[in-house]
Amino acid sequence: MADKERVLVMGNQACVLGAIYAGLRFFAGYPITPSTEVAEGCARELPKIGGRFIQMEDEIGSIAAVIGASVSGLKAMTATSGPGYSLMIENLGYAYMTETPLVVINVQRGGPSTGLPTKVSQSDTMQAKWGPHGDYTAITVAPSTIGETVTEVIRAFNLAERFRTPVTVLLDEVLGHSRQIITLPEPGEIEIFDRVKPTCSPEEFEAFAMTPNMVSPMPAYGEGYRYVCTGLTHDTKGFTTNKSEEIAPKMYKLRHKIIDYQDEIHKMRAEKMDDAEVAFISYGSVARAALQATDIVRKAGYKVGALQLQTIWPFPDEKLREMCGKCRAVVVAELNMGQIVHEVRRALPPDIEVHELQRYDGEILTPMQLVNKLEEVL
């Protein structure tokens, strides 16, 4: 690590660097503040490695093109913010249904609607889980530093490929636009997962075959395995079905290929949690305020810890219970009017007090606001 080049990187650029490290070869997107630098970075960098960048006519087309590229065999990504993510919802559902690996970056700004384009927010957290209609199981990760943005984007690609599913990376305006001196991982330093390809003969091939881990091998177009990929509910071959006995297994697969393996997905940063009586629970930029607050309050002698959710969805119910096992109370801090706190309430046993601290005026929670909140809790 000592000899690596130290570079100043913006959060949005970190997405580009992480993605390319993970194998990104295709980006389709539509500019939107505060995510635009991701697109601009891809426009600059992808041609250098023979990759492809296209600015589509809108966000609907962007994710559509990304899906098209992914089924054609390229690792693909798009980046946007709330309004654009809202427009991607329908085709994101298509990606869930067709089990297409891809990564969507959402650099959150204030909402609802056009809201506050240049102000920070974490109010798209629930949307990442429940935005598209129908049943599916969302994977969402959320870094909080520039270095973590690189590694979490890499992890997002790995999860997408491993589980054949879209993965959302939630950033926020502060993270997207802040810069930090980091060192980049060397080639080979972080393991890269590529989708499993079929090894059977084309005749035997079933595009959505039930396998032991429920993930079906995925060929690229043009590789001799011909199948139809449809957003209609389909059987294991990919043909549309209206039959209950074929519908239910497909739905089961969509859910359980992820839920049954969620241990592989969950990730959390725990600081000073060993003896913590009170824990901050947070994610994204707020986690940095929480770490700072923890540091401040620890120095004053209070047993406070900080949990940063790096995996937001599926929500780490069990892991959270485990981590908070010794806590008397938690403080859930978010830049919204209360979103992830509902999950925390659901997940934690009733004897742990759940306090909430929210800010929704376009500014980030400060360490001192978190510290002050503790006055009610300690």
Ligand X SMILES: Cc1ncc(C[n+]2csc(CCOP(=O)(O)OP(=O)(O)O)c2C)c(N)n1
Q: Is residue 133 close enough to count as binding another protein by CB under 8 A? A: no
Choose among its own copies, another protein, ligand X, none what residue 179 binds, the Cβ cut-off being 5 to 8 Å by kind. another protein
Q: Which stretch, 135-143, 210-218, 237-245, 330-338, contacts another protein (CB under 8 A)?
A: 237-245
For the bound state, the minimum distance from the C-beta of residue 179 to ligand X, rounded and expressed in Å, comes to 22
Binding positions for its own copies, 206-245, rule CB under 8 A: 230-233, 242, 244-245
Binding positions for another protein, 15-44, rule CB under 8 A: 25-26, 28, 30-34, 36, 39-40, 43-44
Which 3 state secondary structure label does DSSP give 21?
Answer: helix
Q: Is residue 124 close enough to count as binding its own copies by CB under 8 A? A: yes
Structure-block tokens of residue 109: 């700004």
Structure-block tokens of residue 18: 């992480």
Contact 157, 24 (CB under 8 A): yes
Q: Which stretch, 29-37, 97-105, 150-158, 242-250, contacts ligand X (CB under 6 A)?
A: 29-37
Q: Is residue 68 close enough to count as binding its own copies by CB under 8 A? A: no
The site map against ligand X for 79-118 (x = CB under 6 A) is ----xx--x--------------------------x----
For the bound state, the minimum distance from the C-beta of residue 171 to ligand X, rounded and expressed in Å, comes to 16
Q: How far is CA 378 from CA 213, 262, 288, 328, 329, in A?
A: 45, 33, 20, 9, 8
Contact 199, 188 (CB under 8 A): no
For the bound state, the minimum distance from the C-beta of residue 184 to another protein, rounded and expressed in Å, comes to 13
How far is Cα 64 from Cα 115, in angstroms, rounded to an integer?
A: 25
# chain residues binding its own copies, by CB under 8 A: 60
Query: For another protein, which residue of 22, 159, 291, 333 counts as binding (CB under 8 A)?
Result: 291
Structure-block tokens of residue 375: 């006055």
Show the CA angle centred on residue 341, arms to residues 34 and 272, nearest 5°.
90
| Long-range CB contacts for residues 223-226, cutoff 8 Å, separation at least 24 | 223/73, 223/197, 225/198, 226/202
How far is Cα 324 from Cα 347, in angstroms, rounded to an integer?
A: 11
Q: Is residue 373 close enough to count as binding its own copies by CB under 8 A? A: no
Q: What is the identity of the amino acid at 346? A: R
Query: For another protein, which residue of 246, 295, 317, 356 counts as binding (CB under 8 A)?
Result: 295
The site map against another protein for 176-195 (x = CB under 8 A) is -xxxxx--------------
Please provide the size of the chain in residues.
378
Q: What are the residues binding ligand X (CB under 6 A)?
A: 30-32, 59, 83-84, 87, 114
